[in-house]
Amino acid sequence: MDAPLPAVRVSRRGEERLRQGHLWVFGDDLREVPPGLPQGQWVTVSSRSGEFLGTATCNLSSRIALRLVSRGAVSPSKAFLGERVGQALRRREEAGLGRLEALRLVYSEGDRLPGLVVDRFGALLSVQILTAGMELLRREVVSVLAEMFSPRPLYERSEGGARRLEGLAERKGVLGGDGLPRETVALDGCRFLVDVETGPKTGFFLDQRENRKIVRDLAGERSVLDGFCSTGAFGIYALAGGATRVLAVDISGDAVAAAAENAARNGFGDRWEGRKGNLFHVLRELSEGGRRFDLVILDPPSFTKSREGKEGAVRGYRDINRLGLSLLAPGGILATSSCTQLVDMAKWYEALRDAAA
């Protein structure tokens, strides 16, 4: 029989957040915590009056002290993980996504497995373990994924600020399975070489798939600039939609080379031009030189990870979009996005309005 989990009580504000559907409790809202809790310990969560609210992972060294795993009573185990991963897979199958070669199988809090991200690229899996609570189940995570998917290989990309905020060292490398950490996958009729060892994040940006399809539908007979191109997905979707030419720009020479290889892989090499450089500088140079495009795509990385950098990030969005707009031919389209969590939609729209003024 499993030993009972330690019990934590939260403040009225913490209780209200959980009842409203939030999945996090911050350290300021903890009221009773057993002494000596290990980093990432799984705990039961109760209100001030002792009413049970759920099961969570606890990390007192993180600003996010509790991450809710379930509103019921669960135990950290291989069986629990297998059940949750199975539920995540069934949701994707029911949505018609189960047969995709490139797919996010598990998405952290979205699948009630806070800190676990699993992406499938053909026969290989790329995994991130980003929280202390999930780190405690590392062995079980590897075992469940190996048994359910037989990945070739299972590769870890547990890197970046999220682990540092949890007090965890970065980890990267093969966790199991044979094979190379790269795979060519088909997505919406386009083919991409995904390198989970050296590629961005888990190997490929899956989150922009729907926006890429929109760009594909808009790109017919248009000249295109793909800014912050990474491995070239936006530009390749544009060419698949009938774009006449693409200029792809990124500050990383490796990304520019990978994008050109992906363009050639899809038969678009003769309509593809890659350029390494700081996009702010490149756009300014192109604008001053009179170059114009029918479709400008801007997909920048996060401009800040700290609240202190928020205003600078807003200025960055204003400036990069102003430059993008200056490159549009009459009737042209700007397709732009933001992934800076600290810049909310209102602030981002304000930056876009200022850019267009």
Ramachandran area for residue 270 (φ above 0: left; ψ -120 to 50: alpha; else beta): alpha
Position 253 scores a pLDDT of 96
Last residue of a domain, one of 30, 53, 70: 70
Spans in the chain with pLDDT lower than 70: 1
Position 82 scores a pLDDT of 98
Question: Which ranges of 138-278 does DSSP label H, i.e. alpha helix?
Answer: 138-149, 161-165, 209-218, 233-240, 253-265
Bridge partner residues of 286 (DSSP): none
The candidate with the shortest Cα–Cα distance to 68, out of 20, 105, 32, is 20
Q: Determine, yes or no, domain membership for 201.
A: no
| b/e 300-312 (16+ beta carbons within 10 angstroms → b) | beebbbeeebbee
Position 32 scores a pLDDT of 95
Same domain membership, residue 154 and residue 33: no
Q: Determine, yes or no, domain membership for 199.
A: no
Same domain membership, residue 352 and residue 220: yes
Same domain membership, residue 249 and residue 229: yes
pTM: 0.92
Active site residues: 339
Q: Determine, yes or no, domain membership for 189.
A: no
Same domain membership, residue 239 and residue 112: no
Residue with structure tokens 């957040």? Answer: 17
CATH of the domain at 38: 2.30.130.10
Position 1 scores a pLDDT of 47
Q: Determine, yes or no, domain membership for 51.
A: yes
Position 50 scores a pLDDT of 95
Helix 138-149 vs helix 78-94: crossing angle, to nearest 10 = 50
Q: Residue 135 in 3-state DSSP?
A: helix
Same domain membership, residue 212 and residue 119: no
Same domain membership, residue 315 and residue 236: yes
CB atoms within 10 A of CB 348: 19
Same domain membership, residue 167 and residue 85: yes
What CA–CA distance (Å, rounded) separates 5 from 10? 16
Same domain membership, residue 140 and residue 93: yes
Position 160 scores a pLDDT of 86
- Full domain range(s) for residue 328: 208-356
Q: Determine, yes or no, domain membership for 241.
A: yes
User: What total of structural domains would you count in the chain?
Assistant: 3
Q: Do the Cβ atoms of 52 and 46 come closer than 8 Å?
A: yes
CATH of the domain at 158: 3.30.750.80
Same domain membership, residue 132 and residue 103: yes
Last residue of a domain, one of 140, 163, 180: 180
Q: Determine, yes or no, domain membership for 167.
A: yes
CATH of the domain at 266: 3.40.50.150
Same domain membership, residue 213 and residue 352: yes
Q: Determine, yes or no, domain membership for 290.
A: yes
Same domain membership, residue 105 and residue 142: yes
Same domain membership, residue 250 and residue 122: no
Positive or negative, the Cα torsion across 218, 222, 228, 231? positive
Distance of CA 206 to the CA centre of its chain: 7
Residue with structure tokens 């509103």? Answer: 71
